[in-house]
A and B are shown apart, each in its own frame.
Chain A
Amino acid sequence: GAGVSQSPSNKVTEKGKDVELRCDPISGHTALYWYRQSLGQGLEFLIYFQGNSAPDKSGLPSDRFSAERTGGSVSTLTIQRTQQEDSAVYLCASSLFSGASTDTQYFGPGTRLTVL
């Protein structure tokens, strides 16, 4: 079946512009995660959605970052007033949610963001 998809695959923007990154999770997966992979920081958690619960935003690095998930499916990560340090690969993952820490997260191919 279809996996997690993300768009765009690459995004180049100028410093100070806003960007939106999109994630389509696997159908039926109720949990959705965003991670960031950068040279300096490795892979780090950003934000998590589960069903209709309030999202866990504890990993967002600043208030320039926000995300929403509409209809319990598609999610958009928005970065306002982008900075060069925002350059990274942004990964989305989804999982069925059983409440167990062994739930497997399935990752999309990522969006490579370059801020000039």
Chain B
Amino acid sequence: AQSVTQLDSHVSVSEGTPVLLRCNYSSSYSPSLFWYVQHPNKGLQLLLKYTSAATLVKGINGFEAEFKKSETSFHLTKPSAHMSDAAEYFCVVSDPFTAGNKLTFGGGTRVLVKP
């Protein structure tokens, strides 16, 4: 069975400072991992995904994430936060042996960006 734990339910940062959102996963097999963002009253948007091609994955809007198998982690970072980054972020795992690629979501991390 697969599962995802996002270690922080809320993160507060100042504009222009780095952002770190932590995610640990559990999967029986080599997983696919995703980060999605959800702005208020909007749908989920894909930020980036890990496809085993490279452990450091670059996404949209300056975000990147590093897959560390030894630590079963897939933390999301951004060097400099912008006000528009205020949203909820979800770490997601998909087990390649699970029919239909059902996604399992973490509990979410709500990011607040202070001016």
Q: How many chain-B residues does the 8 Å CB contact rule pick out?
A: 26
Judge whether B104 and A45 touch: CB under 8 Å: yes
Q: Is the CB of A43 within 8 A of B43?
A: no
Which residues does A use to contact B, with CB under 8 Å? 4, 31, 33, 35, 42-45, 48, 50, 56, 58-59, 91, 93, 95, 100-110
- Indicate if the CB atoms of B44 and A91 lie closer than 8 Å: yes
- Identify B100's interface contact among A4, A56, A106, CB under 8 A: A56
A105 CA / B101 CA spacing, docked (Å): 9
Interface of A is mostly: strand
**Contacts A/B (CB < 8 Å), 16 sampled:** A4-B43, A31-B100, A31-B101, A33-B102, A42-B106, A42-B108, A45-B104, A48-B100, A56-B99, A56-B100, A59-B102, A91-B44, A101-B31, A101-B96, A101-B98, A109-B42
Distance in Å from the Cβ of A20 to the closest Cβ of chain B?
20
Query: How many Å from the CB of B24 to the closest CB on chain A?
Result: 16
Question: Contact partner of B32 among A31, A33, A35, A101, CB < 8 A?
Answer: A101
B20 within 8 A of partner (CB): no
Q: Is the CB of B42 within 8 A of A100?
A: no
Report B-chain residues with C-beta under 8 Å of the C-beta of A104. 34, 46, 49
